[in-house]
Chains A and B, each alone.
Chain A
Amino acid sequence: MKAIEDFTLVGKTILRREDGYLMRGKAQFLDDLPEPKGLIHLAFVLSPYARADILSIDAGAAKALPGVIDVLTGKDFVDDIKLFAPVIEIGGYRPVRRPVVAVDRVNFVGEYVAVILAESPYVAQDALDLVEVSYDPLPSVAGIDEAAAPGAPVLHDHLGDNLIFKTAFETEGFADRFAEGDVVVEEEFRLGRVTGVMIEPRGCMACPDPIATNMTLWTPTQIPHIVRTAIADHLDIAESALRVVTPAVGGGFGTKAHVYPDELIVVALARRLGRAVKWVQDRREELLTNAHAREHVLKIRVAAKNDGEIRAVHLDVRTNCGAYPNHPYSPTLEATAAVRMMPGPYRIRNYKYDVSSVTTNTAPTGAYRGTGQPSAFLAIEGMMDRVGRRLGLDPADVRRRNTIRPEEFPYVNVVGVRYDTGSYLPSLERGLEMIGYDAFRAAQPEDRLVGGKYRGIGICNYTEVSGTGAPGWRVRGFAKMPGFDSSRVVVEPDGKVTVYVSQADAGQGHYTTFAQLAADRLGVDWADVMVVEGDTSKTPYGTGTFASRGSVVGGGTVIRCSEKVGVKVRRIAGYMLNADPERLVMKEGRVFDPASPDRGLTLREVAETAYSMNNLGLPQGEEHGLEATDYYDPPMVTMANGTHVVQVAVDPEDGKVEIERYVVVHDCGRVINPKIVEGQVHGATVQGIGEALMEEIVYDAEGQHLNANLLDYLLPTAMDVPDLELSHIETPSIDTVGGIKGAAEGGLTGAVPALANAVGDALAGLGVNITRVPLRPSYVFEQIRRARAAQEGRT
């Protein structure tokens, strides 16, 4: 990829154009859209049981309630919605399909059992209380270990057991290489189950539209094109007859990058009834039924030489699929992300992994910011500390010993992923320097007790997968994941620019950054560039905005497409100016030869020619119009990187973890808009603080969800957030267009392991071994108490 050397706007902070209408309350989120006449409001009857047979559903009283239009059950959808399932083609994956509304059997608490159709949301809720469902409860299973145990209740009979996915990988001669280690260090790590908790829950509205297309679905999704294809596949609707539009989206975080049963249901009902149908999720439903994530068990064995060199790693990852595979990723997503990301910034050449996923009577799990990476780095970064402790080496030195050095790039890692560029070692060094690592270690007493609190430092040096292209999805079995994204850039007759992008913004600032990129390439004022996205009828097809792909793939295609239009602009301008198009430049809304800058054209003048609005005519063979379309399939993946270094104090009297210093070094290649990148780092890091210290969805052994509300599922508040000390390194990619790497997930990926390691370091003097998150005070306190008791027992 030829590097772009002449960026003008890229790298500059431009304040977001979205802010004005958002701050004036003028943005239209799903539930803010004007309601069509005759709108039907839906509510779902949710299963209270983790596993049960549905014996009968009596909706008589509900149907009799004034304002209730109908009450439908699973059987009512069998004919018009096919069994719902993602398309996954990878060895070891065993497909499971599900009805969108349960038929005869429920498999998790919150599964849809019946659908209320009512004239108002209040009446719909009234009707929920009147539907009598008779269940025959069955034995259920919620945890990974329990679901994998012999004799466990089996969710899906055709599988024979609960193992929905299992695969393995091993480098040549692995056992021999492993045996070369001087020491073997083993550990098992666990991550709690979490979810996105966007402040805007989900919802969707389908509107029959007999004139334009047959149907418009409004849904705050990160993947409008994939939603359209999934609905077309499952409902037998022509893709041309379905338009999927994302209104303003109140946060996505991967949770909104799925296709959900309700999206199929509203479209099916709108089609059947010829009326608009809307459903708005409430917070309880959000926590019960949206894709959850994590709940991973990682068993890791590391063979190391006495000097700290990691000789070989064996990683066994087990994940909880939930009751059904999510759409479109299935449980393979986090599982394969974890094992493929584990090598991270390290020179690990001998690697074996086993990975598996089991079905349980819990909500389906799927994508959430960081996907698999917080788990992978909790394991490998945790082992860096443990290898250090075992060998009497500083954990920073163990990392230095194994980190890929700048001169080794481009580097292909052990699972075949190419690291084109990166600042793995400089980033680590800068992070350590910023926090004053050496001084801290020098002053740290052996028992780590300073002023009544245990103090420690945790490091996470991570890589962040971003901008995955078609080959990157294909190698992991995602058969229907396009991988590419696309754009159409139009110079309008007045010389202003419209950019249509296949992505879908959920707060990332695309309306500003994509304008910035197009303006940069076309030499116009960014304010003259409008951005349109999140509408399948307006933009060309593409993958969407998740997995840190917006800037890499969306940005890449906007750059490419703008340059394509630029070629035509210069061709027409060259004809008009009687100049060599190759010599012309576009700057400040004009096209001219730098040798004679006074003799040029405005972009508007060129556009008027292109649109036949003057008598100048076009060169021979040139088509009218001034636009281009581009489909950009980026490299397999592009690795960003960074380092989190955290200093914590743990109070042994109450188990509370206080973050005293928090340093982030961040390298996402070419930065488009620094302020926006900073925002991504802040947001992801704080979600990581949440995951590390407080967030967890709790199921009891029977599969009952115990905290589907925001009093019991805790999100960080402003008081939980330390001021971050943030530093950027800019190491542009040489593989992607513009050198851009993704930026959205590293914060979370860095925070979870760094915090766990910091607490582990603080308590290492006591002999406490921190192997799981979240680290709530109750848990930390218990570890301290046990360790102290054990110490007293020894003395």
Chain B
Amino acid sequence: MILEGDTLIPADRHAVWTALNDPEVLRDCIPGCQSLERQSDTDFTSSVRAAIGPVSATFGARITLSEIEPDRGYTISGEGKGGAAGFARGKARVDLADEPGGTRLRYTADVNVGGKLAQVGSRLIQGTAKKLSEEFFGRLGERLGATPGAAPSAPAAPVAAGTAGLSGRRLLWAGAIVILLAVIAWAIGR
């Protein structure tokens, strides 16, 4: 499934970029994140406690950054395996652009949920990404809004925006990173 969307973050581009590469910021913003550690310049491991629908569990995931263009964007890939429940993996391109009031974050994610989850869990998967991404961008916005040097007086709430989707119509708007984490969480948390 291809997910696309964008959001306005009330902070300047460099601040957003720094945040997106700061394990501590990410850990604070990812709902339920218990640890997020940088293994190398481009590799992270993460442990997240997530409640997705009726499912709640702690899961581990591997996240890799590539095609890095400082202050402009990167490609983030994640993979989580849930044994008998299936798997989730995905890849998202995140791009940053200046805009009055802050920085526009655009993402295109290709998320692949497989195995039992895809076969019997379609109802459960729906909406999860949106919920978690709202939380993620809400927190990111709050945090950056409070950071010195960030664009002042912009609303801290996440900004809905996405227009394109599978059907070409407001399918989902969600943050690529969190979508990846959400589906990975889903795969593990049974």
Contacts and interface: CB of A to CB of B under 8 A. Distances in A.
A48 B116 contact: yes
Contacts of A702: 112, 114
A700 B1 contact: yes
A129 B119 contact: no
Nearest to A127: B84
Contacts of B86: 48
Contacts of A132: 83
Contacts of A712: 120, 122
Contacts of A704: 112-115, 118-119
B87 interface: yes
Interface string B125-159: 00000000000000000000000000000000000
A709 B1 contact: no
Given A48-B115, A704-B113, A284 B120 contact: yes
A702 B119 CA distance: 13
A377 interface: no
Contact of B119 (A128, A137, A707): A707
Interface string B32-62: 0000000000000000000000000000000
Contact of A129 (B1, B84, B113): B84
Interface string B1-25: 1000000000000000000000000
A288 interface: yes
Interface string A97-110: 00000000000010
Give the most central of A109, A287, A288: most B CB within 10 Å. Answer: A109
A290 to B, nearest CB: 14
A49 B114 contact: yes
A50 B1 CA distance: 15
B122 to A, nearest CB: 6
Given A109-B114, A109-B115, A702-B112, A48 B87 contact: yes
Interface residues of B, number: 16
A131 B112 CA distance: 22
B83 A709 contact: no
B169 to A, nearest CB: 12
A128 B84 contact: yes
Given A48-B87, A704-B112, A704-B113, A288 B119 contact: yes
Contacts of B113: 704
Contacts of A708: 119-120
Contacts of A130: 83
Interface in B58-95: 83-84, 86-87, 89
Nearest to A706: B118
Contacts of B1: 700
A62 to B, nearest CB: 10
Contacts of A49: 87, 114-115
Interface string A683-701: 0000000000000000010
Nearest to B117: A48
Nearest to A132: B83
Contacts of B118: 700, 704-706
A709 B120 contact: yes
A284 B86 CA distance: 14
A141 to B, nearest CB: 14
A284 B114 contact: no
Give the most central of A131, A287, A702: most B CB within 10 Å. Answer: A702
Contacts of A129: 83-84
Contacts of B89: 137
Nearest to A709: B120
A614 B86 CA distance: 72
Contacts of A284: 116, 119-120
A706 B122 contact: yes
A709 B119 contact: yes
Nearest to B120: A709
A708 B120 CA distance: 6
A469 B100 CA distance: 78
Interface in A45-66: 45-46, 48-50
A202 to B, nearest CB: 17
Nearest to B187: A48
Contacts of A131: 83-84
A731 to B, nearest CB: 46
A131 B82 CA distance: 11
Contacts of A711: 123
Interface in A455-487: none
B78 to A, nearest CB: 14
B9 to A, nearest CB: 31
A712 B120 CA distance: 8
Contacts of B119: 109, 284, 287-288, 704-709
Nearest to A703: B114
Nearest to B190: A129
A130 B89 CA distance: 21
B170 to A, nearest CB: 17
20 contacts: A46-B115, A48-B86, A48-B87, A48-B116, A49-B87, A49-B115, A109-B119, A128-B84, A129-B84, A131-B83, A131-B84, A284-B116, A284-B119, A702-B112, A704-B115, A705-B118, A706-B122, A708-B119, A709-B120, A712-B120
10 smallest beta-carbon distances between A and B, as pairs:
A48-B115, A708-B119, A704-B118, A48-B86, A129-B84, A709-B120, A48-B114, A704-B114, A128-B84, A705-B119
Interface of B: 1, 83-84, 86-87, 89, 112-116, 118-120, 122-123
Given A48-B114, A49-B115, A708-B120, 7 more contacts: A48-B87, A48-B115, A284-B120, A704-B115, A707-B122, A708-B119, A712-B122
